[in-house]
Structure 1
Amino acid sequence: MRLVLVRHGQTPSNVDYLLDTAVPGPGLTELGERQAAALPGALADEDVEALYASTLVRTQLTAAPLAAARGLDVRVRDGIREIAAGDLEMAPGGSAPGERYMRTAFAWAAGDVELRMPGGESGAEFLARYDAVVAEAAASGAGTVVLVSHGAAIRTWAAARADNVDVPFAAGHRLANTGTVILEGSPADGWKALVWAGATVTPEGEGGPAGEELQARG
Protein backbone atom coordinates (compact mmCIF):
# COMPACT_ATOMS: atom_id res chain seq x y z
CA MET A 1 0.00 0.00 0.00
CA ARG A 2 1.09 3.54 -0.68
CA LEU A 3 0.46 5.70 2.39
CA VAL A 4 0.44 9.49 2.01
CA LEU A 5 0.58 11.35 5.32
CA VAL A 6 -0.38 15.01 4.97
CA ARG A 7 -0.04 17.70 7.61
CA HIS A 8 -3.07 20.01 7.83
CA GLY A 9 -3.14 23.59 6.53
CA GLN A 10 -2.08 26.58 8.58
CA THR A 11 -4.08 27.52 11.70
CA PRO A 12 -4.04 30.64 13.90
CA SER A 13 -2.19 28.63 16.54
CA ASN A 14 0.50 27.78 13.99
CA VAL A 15 0.96 31.49 13.32
CA ASP A 16 1.37 32.12 17.06
CA TYR A 17 3.60 29.03 17.56
CA LEU A 18 1.27 27.55 20.18
CA LEU A 19 1.11 23.90 21.15
CA ASP A 20 -2.60 23.49 20.36
CA THR A 21 -3.62 19.81 20.36
CA ALA A 22 -7.09 19.66 21.95
CA VAL A 23 -10.21 18.57 20.06
CA PRO A 24 -11.86 20.15 18.12
CA GLY A 25 -9.18 22.82 17.75
CA PRO A 26 -9.10 25.89 15.49
CA GLY A 27 -9.97 26.15 11.84
CA LEU A 28 -7.68 27.31 9.05
CA THR A 29 -6.28 30.75 8.32
CA GLU A 30 -6.78 32.26 4.86
CA LEU A 31 -3.38 30.86 3.93
CA GLY A 32 -4.41 27.48 5.32
CA GLU A 33 -7.51 27.53 3.14
CA ARG A 34 -5.37 28.24 0.09
CA GLN A 35 -3.02 25.42 1.06
CA ALA A 36 -5.98 23.04 1.35
CA ALA A 37 -7.32 24.20 -2.02
CA ALA A 38 -3.92 23.46 -3.57
CA LEU A 39 -3.77 19.92 -2.19
CA PRO A 40 -5.64 18.23 -5.08
CA GLY A 41 -3.11 19.66 -7.51
CA ALA A 42 -0.17 18.70 -5.31
CA LEU A 43 -1.43 15.10 -5.21
CA ALA A 44 -2.56 14.99 -8.85
CA ASP A 45 -0.21 12.08 -9.60
CA GLU A 46 -1.48 9.99 -6.69
CA ASP A 47 -4.27 7.49 -7.40
CA VAL A 48 -6.01 8.16 -4.09
CA GLU A 49 -8.63 5.53 -3.24
CA ALA A 50 -9.33 6.34 0.41
CA LEU A 51 -9.08 9.52 2.47
CA TYR A 52 -8.91 9.89 6.25
CA ALA A 53 -8.78 12.90 8.58
CA SER A 54 -8.47 13.27 12.32
CA THR A 55 -11.14 14.48 14.74
CA LEU A 56 -9.58 17.96 14.76
CA VAL A 57 -11.39 20.47 12.56
CA ARG A 58 -8.25 21.60 10.75
CA THR A 59 -7.58 18.22 9.17
CA GLN A 60 -11.16 17.85 7.96
CA LEU A 61 -11.09 21.32 6.39
CA THR A 62 -7.77 20.44 4.73
CA ALA A 63 -9.13 17.16 3.38
CA ALA A 64 -12.37 18.66 2.01
CA PRO A 65 -11.03 20.01 -1.32
CA LEU A 66 -9.28 16.71 -2.07
CA ALA A 67 -12.42 14.78 -1.19
CA ALA A 68 -14.48 16.96 -3.53
CA ALA A 69 -11.96 16.67 -6.35
CA ARG A 70 -11.76 12.86 -6.13
CA GLY A 71 -15.35 12.11 -5.17
CA LEU A 72 -14.28 10.51 -1.89
CA ASP A 73 -15.80 10.49 1.57
CA VAL A 74 -13.59 11.71 4.42
CA ARG A 75 -13.29 9.00 7.05
CA VAL A 76 -12.83 10.79 10.38
CA ARG A 77 -10.79 8.84 12.92
CA ASP A 78 -9.58 9.85 16.39
CA GLY A 79 -6.51 7.65 16.09
CA ILE A 80 -4.64 10.03 13.79
CA ARG A 81 -5.22 13.20 15.81
CA GLU A 82 -2.22 15.15 17.12
CA ILE A 83 -0.18 13.88 20.05
CA ALA A 84 -2.04 15.22 23.08
CA ALA A 85 0.07 17.83 24.88
CA GLY A 86 -1.57 17.26 28.27
CA ASP A 87 -0.15 19.70 30.83
CA LEU A 88 1.88 21.36 28.07
CA GLU A 89 -1.22 22.45 26.09
CA MET A 90 -0.98 25.95 24.55
CA ALA A 91 2.68 26.36 25.51
CA PRO A 92 4.76 28.36 23.00
CA GLY A 93 6.48 26.02 20.58
CA GLY A 94 9.97 27.36 21.22
CA SER A 95 9.62 27.34 25.01
CA ALA A 96 10.99 24.74 27.42
CA PRO A 97 7.55 23.02 27.60
CA GLY A 98 7.33 23.01 23.81
CA GLU A 99 10.78 21.47 23.52
CA ARG A 100 9.85 18.87 26.14
CA TYR A 101 6.85 17.91 24.03
CA MET A 102 8.99 17.09 21.01
CA ARG A 103 11.71 15.38 23.08
CA THR A 104 9.05 13.14 24.58
CA ALA A 105 7.52 12.33 21.19
CA PHE A 106 10.87 11.45 19.64
CA ALA A 107 11.79 9.37 22.69
CA TRP A 108 8.72 7.28 21.84
CA ALA A 109 9.95 6.88 18.27
CA ALA A 110 13.31 5.73 19.65
CA GLY A 111 11.61 3.00 21.66
CA ASP A 112 10.83 4.51 25.07
CA VAL A 113 7.11 3.95 24.60
CA GLU A 114 6.25 3.76 28.30
CA LEU A 115 7.29 7.39 28.74
CA ARG A 116 4.24 9.58 29.23
CA MET A 117 3.59 13.11 28.04
CA PRO A 118 3.10 15.21 31.21
CA GLY A 119 -0.61 14.91 31.96
CA GLY A 120 -1.14 13.10 28.66
CA GLU A 121 -0.75 9.83 26.81
CA SER A 122 2.15 7.40 26.63
CA GLY A 123 4.06 6.45 23.53
CA ALA A 124 2.46 3.02 23.54
CA GLU A 125 -0.99 4.58 23.59
CA PHE A 126 -0.18 7.02 20.79
CA LEU A 127 1.37 4.40 18.51
CA ALA A 128 -1.46 1.94 19.14
CA ARG A 129 -4.15 4.43 18.12
CA TYR A 130 -2.23 5.58 15.03
CA ASP A 131 -1.38 2.00 14.04
CA ALA A 132 -5.06 1.05 14.29
CA VAL A 133 -6.09 3.60 11.66
CA VAL A 134 -3.24 2.61 9.37
CA ALA A 135 -4.24 -1.05 9.78
CA GLU A 136 -7.85 -0.17 8.93
CA ALA A 137 -6.69 1.65 5.80
CA ALA A 138 -4.52 -1.29 4.76
CA ALA A 139 -7.38 -3.74 5.33
CA SER A 140 -9.63 -1.68 3.05
CA GLY A 141 -7.72 -2.93 0.03
CA ALA A 142 -7.04 0.60 -1.26
CA GLY A 143 -3.79 0.91 -3.18
CA THR A 144 -3.14 4.53 -2.16
CA VAL A 145 -4.49 6.07 1.02
CA VAL A 146 -4.19 9.67 2.23
CA LEU A 147 -4.24 10.40 5.96
CA VAL A 148 -4.57 14.10 6.79
CA SER A 149 -2.98 14.34 10.21
CA HIS A 150 -0.59 16.50 12.24
CA GLY A 151 3.08 17.43 12.20
CA ALA A 152 4.33 15.87 15.43
CA ALA A 153 2.16 12.79 15.00
CA ILE A 154 3.34 12.16 11.44
CA ARG A 155 7.03 12.66 12.22
CA THR A 156 6.87 10.49 15.35
CA TRP A 157 4.91 7.67 13.74
CA ALA A 158 7.10 7.65 10.62
CA ALA A 159 10.30 7.60 12.68
CA ALA A 160 8.95 4.74 14.76
CA ARG A 161 7.61 2.64 11.89
CA ALA A 162 9.63 3.34 8.71
CA ASP A 163 12.66 1.07 8.42
CA ASN A 164 14.75 3.71 6.65
CA VAL A 165 14.02 6.74 8.85
CA ASP A 166 15.50 7.35 12.28
CA VAL A 167 14.82 9.93 14.98
CA PRO A 168 17.60 12.38 14.01
CA PHE A 169 16.23 12.45 10.47
CA ALA A 170 12.65 13.08 11.60
CA ALA A 171 13.78 15.66 14.14
CA GLY A 172 15.85 17.51 11.56
CA HIS A 173 13.22 17.56 8.81
CA ARG A 174 10.11 19.42 9.90
CA LEU A 175 6.91 19.38 7.90
CA ALA A 176 5.40 22.63 6.69
CA ASN A 177 1.62 22.95 6.57
CA THR A 178 0.28 20.49 3.95
CA GLY A 179 3.74 18.92 3.75
CA THR A 180 3.69 15.19 3.03
CA VAL A 181 5.47 12.00 3.97
CA ILE A 182 4.91 9.14 1.53
CA LEU A 183 5.55 5.56 2.57
CA GLU A 184 5.12 2.15 1.01
CA GLY A 185 4.52 -1.15 2.73
CA SER A 186 2.04 -2.75 5.09
CA PRO A 187 1.48 -3.28 8.81
CA ALA A 188 2.68 -6.89 8.41
CA ASP A 189 5.76 -6.25 6.28
CA GLY A 190 6.79 -2.84 7.61
CA TRP A 191 7.17 0.54 5.96
CA LYS A 192 9.73 2.38 3.89
CA ALA A 193 9.63 6.15 3.50
CA LEU A 194 9.88 7.22 -0.13
CA VAL A 195 9.36 10.99 0.04
CA TRP A 196 9.64 13.45 2.92
CA ALA A 197 8.46 17.02 2.36
CA GLY A 198 8.99 16.72 -1.38
CA ALA A 199 12.50 15.22 -1.19
CA THR A 200 13.37 11.60 -1.96
CA VAL A 201 14.44 9.68 1.13
CA THR A 202 17.68 7.81 0.46
CA PRO A 203 19.85 5.66 2.73
CA GLU A 204 22.84 7.37 4.32
CA GLY A 205 25.74 7.65 1.90
CA GLU A 206 23.61 7.68 -1.24
CA GLY A 207 23.02 10.89 -3.15
CA GLY A 208 19.87 12.82 -2.33
CA PRO A 209 18.05 15.45 -4.38
CA ALA A 210 20.24 18.18 -5.86
CA GLY A 211 23.35 16.30 -4.74
CA GLU A 212 22.42 16.62 -1.07
CA GLU A 213 22.22 13.67 1.28
CA LEU A 214 19.04 13.17 3.24
CA GLN A 215 20.27 11.17 6.21
CA ALA A 216 18.07 8.18 6.85
CA ARG A 217 18.81 4.87 8.52
CA GLY A 218 19.46 2.39 5.75
Structure 2
Amino acid sequence: MRLLLIRHGQTPSNLGHFLDTARPGPGLTDLGLRQAAALPGALAGEDIAALYASTLTRTQLTAAPLADEQGLDVLIRDGIRELSAGDLEMRADEAAARQYLTTAFAWSAGDTARRMPGGENGVEALSRFDAVVAEAASSLAAGAPGAPRTVALVSHGAAIRVWTAARARNVTVAFAAEHRLDNTGVVVVEGSPGTGWTALSWAGTVVPPITANGSEGAGPAGRAFPTPGS
Protein backbone atom coordinates (compact mmCIF):
# COMPACT_ATOMS: atom_id res chain seq x y z
CA MET A 1 0.00 0.00 0.00
CA ARG A 2 1.25 3.45 -0.93
CA LEU A 3 0.17 6.49 1.11
CA LEU A 4 0.45 10.07 -0.13
CA LEU A 5 0.39 12.32 2.94
CA ILE A 6 -0.37 15.79 1.57
CA ARG A 7 -0.27 19.00 3.55
CA HIS A 8 -3.05 21.49 2.75
CA GLY A 9 -2.54 24.73 0.82
CA GLN A 10 -1.57 28.02 2.40
CA THR A 11 -4.00 29.70 4.83
CA PRO A 12 -4.11 33.19 6.36
CA SER A 13 -3.06 31.66 9.68
CA ASN A 14 0.06 30.20 8.05
CA LEU A 15 1.04 33.72 7.03
CA GLY A 16 0.65 34.92 10.65
CA HIS A 17 2.28 31.78 12.14
CA PHE A 18 -0.78 31.11 14.29
CA LEU A 19 -1.35 27.75 15.97
CA ASP A 20 -4.74 27.44 14.31
CA THR A 21 -5.97 23.87 14.83
CA ALA A 22 -9.66 24.15 15.76
CA ARG A 23 -12.57 23.18 13.50
CA PRO A 24 -13.56 24.33 10.94
CA GLY A 25 -10.54 26.60 10.55
CA PRO A 26 -9.74 29.11 7.81
CA GLY A 27 -9.96 28.70 4.07
CA LEU A 28 -7.08 29.09 1.65
CA THR A 29 -5.30 32.22 0.51
CA ASP A 30 -5.10 33.01 -3.20
CA LEU A 31 -1.73 31.26 -3.21
CA GLY A 32 -3.25 28.31 -1.37
CA LEU A 33 -5.93 27.97 -4.03
CA ARG A 34 -3.26 27.99 -6.73
CA GLN A 35 -1.30 25.37 -4.83
CA ALA A 36 -4.41 23.18 -4.63
CA ALA A 37 -5.06 23.67 -8.35
CA ALA A 38 -1.50 22.54 -9.10
CA LEU A 39 -1.82 19.27 -7.13
CA PRO A 40 -3.44 17.23 -9.94
CA GLY A 41 -0.54 18.03 -12.24
CA ALA A 42 2.04 17.28 -9.56
CA LEU A 43 0.40 13.91 -8.86
CA ALA A 44 -0.52 13.07 -12.46
CA GLY A 45 1.51 9.89 -12.33
CA GLU A 46 -0.34 8.54 -9.29
CA ASP A 47 -3.25 6.14 -9.73
CA ILE A 48 -5.19 6.97 -6.58
CA ALA A 49 -7.82 4.56 -5.28
CA ALA A 50 -9.23 6.77 -2.50
CA LEU A 51 -8.88 10.37 -1.35
CA TYR A 52 -9.34 11.48 2.26
CA ALA A 53 -9.39 14.93 3.84
CA SER A 54 -9.73 16.10 7.41
CA THR A 55 -12.70 17.87 8.94
CA LEU A 56 -10.96 21.23 8.57
CA THR A 57 -11.98 23.46 5.67
CA ARG A 58 -8.47 23.94 4.32
CA THR A 59 -7.87 20.27 3.59
CA GLN A 60 -11.19 19.85 1.80
CA LEU A 61 -10.50 22.88 -0.41
CA THR A 62 -7.06 21.47 -1.16
CA ALA A 63 -8.43 18.04 -2.04
CA ALA A 64 -11.21 19.31 -4.34
CA PRO A 65 -9.17 19.83 -7.57
CA LEU A 66 -7.49 16.44 -7.17
CA ALA A 67 -10.86 14.79 -6.61
CA ASP A 68 -12.27 16.41 -9.75
CA GLU A 69 -9.29 15.40 -11.85
CA GLN A 70 -9.27 11.78 -10.73
CA GLY A 71 -13.05 11.32 -10.44
CA LEU A 72 -12.96 10.59 -6.71
CA ASP A 73 -15.19 11.43 -3.80
CA VAL A 74 -13.46 13.18 -0.89
CA LEU A 75 -13.87 11.08 2.25
CA ILE A 76 -13.97 13.39 5.28
CA ARG A 77 -12.43 11.96 8.45
CA ASP A 78 -11.77 13.69 11.76
CA GLY A 79 -8.87 11.37 12.53
CA ILE A 80 -6.46 13.16 10.20
CA ARG A 81 -7.15 16.69 11.43
CA GLU A 82 -4.32 18.76 12.85
CA LEU A 83 -2.86 18.00 16.28
CA SER A 84 -4.93 20.04 18.72
CA ALA A 85 -3.11 23.03 20.20
CA GLY A 86 -5.37 23.06 23.26
CA ASP A 87 -4.59 26.07 25.45
CA LEU A 88 -2.03 27.24 22.88
CA GLU A 89 -4.69 27.75 20.21
CA MET A 90 -4.22 30.89 18.07
CA ARG A 91 -0.99 31.89 19.75
CA ALA A 92 1.80 33.00 17.42
CA ASP A 93 4.70 33.49 19.82
CA GLU A 94 7.86 31.39 19.77
CA ALA A 95 7.31 30.00 23.27
CA ALA A 96 3.94 28.56 22.27
CA ALA A 97 5.32 27.09 19.03
CA ARG A 98 8.18 25.51 20.92
CA GLN A 99 5.88 24.00 23.57
CA TYR A 100 3.52 22.65 20.90
CA LEU A 101 6.28 21.05 18.86
CA THR A 102 8.17 19.74 21.89
CA THR A 103 5.03 17.96 23.07
CA ALA A 104 4.09 16.64 19.62
CA PHE A 105 7.52 15.20 18.84
CA ALA A 106 7.71 13.67 22.31
CA TRP A 107 4.79 11.51 21.10
CA SER A 108 6.82 10.37 18.10
CA ALA A 109 9.65 9.48 20.47
CA GLY A 110 7.33 7.25 22.52
CA ASP A 111 6.14 9.56 25.30
CA THR A 112 2.53 9.17 24.21
CA ALA A 113 1.08 9.79 27.67
CA ARG A 114 2.29 13.38 27.51
CA ARG A 115 -0.59 15.79 26.99
CA MET A 116 -0.77 19.03 25.04
CA PRO A 117 -1.78 21.74 27.55
CA GLY A 118 -5.57 21.68 27.51
CA GLY A 119 -5.56 19.25 24.56
CA GLU A 120 -5.03 15.65 23.55
CA ASN A 121 -2.24 13.25 24.39
CA GLY A 122 -0.13 11.19 22.02
CA VAL A 123 -2.18 8.03 22.37
CA GLU A 124 -5.28 9.90 21.26
CA ALA A 125 -3.60 11.82 18.43
CA LEU A 126 -1.73 8.89 16.89
CA SER A 127 -4.62 6.46 17.36
CA ARG A 128 -7.08 8.63 15.45
CA PHE A 129 -4.65 9.01 12.53
CA ASP A 130 -3.92 5.27 12.63
CA ALA A 131 -7.65 4.54 12.44
CA VAL A 132 -8.04 6.40 9.14
CA VAL A 133 -4.97 4.67 7.70
CA ALA A 134 -6.37 1.29 8.81
CA GLU A 135 -9.71 2.11 7.18
CA ALA A 136 -7.94 2.96 3.92
CA ALA A 137 -5.94 -0.27 4.06
CA SER A 138 -9.10 -2.31 4.64
CA SER A 139 -10.82 -0.69 1.67
CA LEU A 140 -7.88 -1.59 -0.57
CA ALA A 141 -7.85 -5.16 0.71
CA ALA A 142 -11.53 -5.49 -0.20
CA GLY A 143 -10.97 -4.15 -3.71
CA ALA A 144 -10.69 -6.11 -6.92
CA PRO A 145 -7.34 -7.68 -7.85
CA GLY A 146 -5.24 -5.26 -9.86
CA ALA A 147 -7.03 -2.19 -8.48
CA PRO A 148 -4.93 0.87 -7.54
CA ARG A 149 -2.98 0.49 -4.30
CA THR A 150 -2.43 4.18 -3.56
CA VAL A 151 -4.41 6.32 -1.11
CA ALA A 152 -4.06 10.09 -0.68
CA LEU A 153 -4.66 11.74 2.69
CA VAL A 154 -4.87 15.55 2.73
CA SER A 155 -3.93 16.45 6.26
CA HIS A 156 -1.78 18.94 8.19
CA GLY A 157 1.88 19.72 8.69
CA ALA A 158 2.38 18.72 12.31
CA ALA A 159 0.07 15.71 12.07
CA ILE A 160 1.92 14.32 9.05
CA ARG A 161 5.39 14.94 10.46
CA VAL A 162 4.61 13.48 13.88
CA TRP A 163 2.76 10.43 12.54
CA THR A 164 5.52 9.68 10.03
CA ALA A 165 8.23 9.98 12.69
CA ALA A 166 6.23 7.67 14.96
CA ARG A 167 5.35 5.04 12.35
CA ALA A 168 7.94 5.03 9.53
CA ARG A 169 10.90 2.83 10.44
CA ASN A 170 13.41 4.99 8.57
CA VAL A 171 12.30 8.45 9.80
CA THR A 172 13.83 9.63 13.05
CA VAL A 173 12.26 12.27 15.25
CA ALA A 174 15.22 14.54 14.53
CA PHE A 175 14.69 14.21 10.77
CA ALA A 176 10.97 15.02 10.98
CA ALA A 177 11.60 17.92 13.34
CA GLU A 178 14.28 19.44 11.15
CA HIS A 179 12.69 18.95 7.73
CA ARG A 180 9.86 21.29 6.96
CA LEU A 181 6.81 20.31 4.95
CA ASP A 182 5.62 23.29 2.96
CA ASN A 183 2.01 23.79 1.91
CA THR A 184 0.93 20.99 -0.48
CA GLY A 185 4.18 19.18 0.25
CA VAL A 186 3.86 15.40 0.07
CA VAL A 187 5.36 12.62 2.18
CA VAL A 188 5.15 9.22 0.47
CA VAL A 189 5.20 6.08 2.61
CA GLU A 190 4.77 2.44 1.73
CA GLY A 191 3.75 -0.59 3.78
CA SER A 192 0.72 -1.60 5.81
CA PRO A 193 -0.68 -1.26 9.34
CA GLY A 194 0.38 -4.84 10.00
CA THR A 195 3.92 -4.82 8.61
CA GLY A 196 4.82 -1.19 9.31
CA TRP A 197 5.83 1.72 7.10
CA THR A 198 8.84 2.96 5.18
CA ALA A 199 9.11 6.53 3.94
CA LEU A 200 10.04 6.75 0.26
CA SER A 201 10.18 10.52 -0.17
CA TRP A 202 9.71 13.73 1.80
CA ALA A 203 8.66 16.78 -0.18
CA GLY A 204 10.32 15.35 -3.28
CA THR A 205 13.53 14.24 -1.57
CA VAL A 206 14.30 10.53 -1.35
CA VAL A 207 14.40 9.35 2.27
CA PRO A 208 17.39 7.07 2.95
CA PRO A 209 17.02 3.77 4.83
CA ILE A 210 17.94 5.52 8.07
CA THR A 211 17.44 9.27 8.07
CA ALA A 212 20.06 11.71 9.26
CA ASN A 213 19.58 15.16 10.71
CA GLY A 214 18.81 17.84 8.13
CA SER A 215 19.82 21.47 8.07
CA GLU A 216 16.45 23.17 7.83
CA GLY A 217 13.69 23.31 10.38
CA ALA A 218 10.18 24.60 10.70
CA GLY A 219 7.57 24.58 13.40
CA PRO A 220 4.00 23.52 12.73
CA ALA A 221 2.97 27.05 11.85
CA GLY A 222 5.78 27.46 9.33
CA ARG A 223 8.21 29.50 11.42
CA ALA A 224 11.86 28.41 11.42
CA PHE A 225 12.39 26.18 14.42
CA PRO A 226 15.86 24.83 15.23
CA THR A 227 15.13 21.74 17.28
CA PRO A 228 12.14 20.24 19.11
CA GLY A 229 12.60 20.70 22.90
CA SER A 230 1.41 22.49 10.97
TM-score (norm 2): 0.88
CA–CA distance in structure 2, aligned partners of residues 174 and 100 of structure 1: 17
Aligned Cα RMSD in Å? 1.0
Partner of 2:182: 176
Tell me, which stretches of 5 or more residues in structure 2 are unaligned?
Answer: 141-147, 214-230
3-state secondary structure, aligned to 2:190: strand
CA contact (8 A) 1:193 1:201 kept: yes
Deviation, structure 1 residue 203:
2.8
Q: Which runs of 4+ in 1 moved over 6 A?
A: none
Q: Could you say which residue in structure 2 is the equivalent of 1:207? A: none
The question of whether the paired residues in 2 share the 8 Å contact of 1:87 and 1:118 is answered with: yes
Matched position secondary structure for 2:128 = helix
The alignment status of 1:88 with 2:88, answered yes or no, reads yes
Aligned to 2:222: none
Structure 1: which 5+ residue stretches go unaligned?
205-213
Q: Distance in 2 between matches of 1:132 and 1:177?
A: 24
Aligned to 1:215: 212
CA deviations over 1:5-44 (Å, ceiling 9, x no partner): 0000000000111000000000000000000000001111
Give the match for residue 208 of structure 1.
none
Q: Please give the residue correspondences for 1:45-60 in structure 2 after superposition, counting only pairs within 5 Å.
A: 45-60=45-60
Hey, what does 1:155 align to over in structure 2?
161
Amino acid at match of 1:18: F
User: Secondary structure of the residue that 2:5 maps to in structure 1?
Assistant: strand
Distance in structure 2 (CA, Å) of the matches to 1:18 and 1:177: 15
**Which residue is equivalent to 2:114?**
115
| Distance in 1, Cα, partners of 2:155 & 2:183 | 10
User: 1:21 and 1:176 mapped to 2: Cα distance?
Assistant: 17
1:135 aligns with 134
3-state SS of paired residue (1:46)? coil
Amino acid of the residue matched to residue 201 of structure 1?
Answer: V
Match for 2:22: what amino acid?
A: A
Aligned residue pairs, count? 206
Give, in whole Å, the separation in 2 of the partners of 1:178 and 1:81.
15
Report the residue type matching 2:70 in the other structure. R
1:209 aligned residue: none
Note the C-alpha offset of 1:45: 1.0
Q: Pick from 168, 173, 176: which aligns with 1:167?
A: 173
Give the conservation status (yes or no) of the 8 Å contact 1:203–1:215. no
Partner of 1:203: 209
TM-score (norm 1): 0.93
User: Could you tell me how far apart the structure 2 residues matched to 1:163 and 1:47 are?
Assistant: 25
Q: Secondary structure at the match of 2:136?
A: helix
Opposite residue 158 of structure 2, the aligned amino acid is A
2:66 matched residue in structure 1? 66
SS of alignment partner, residue 48 of structure 2: coil
Counterpart amino acid of residue 108 in structure 1: W
Q: Distance in 1 between matches of 2:182 and 2:67?
A: 21
Q: Which amino acid aligns with 1:107?
A: A
Contact 1:82/1:149 (<8 A) preserved: yes
Instruction: Output the CA distance in 2 between the equivalents of 1:127 and 1:190.
Output: 14
Deviations 1:160-196 (A, max 9, x none): 0000001000001010000010000000000000000
Whole-angstrom CA distance in 2 between matches of 1:29 and 1:200: 29
Q: Give the distance between the partners of 2:209 and 2:72, measured in 1 at CA.
A: 35
The letter for the 2-side match of 1:119 is G
CA distance in 1, matches of 2:36, 2:99: 30
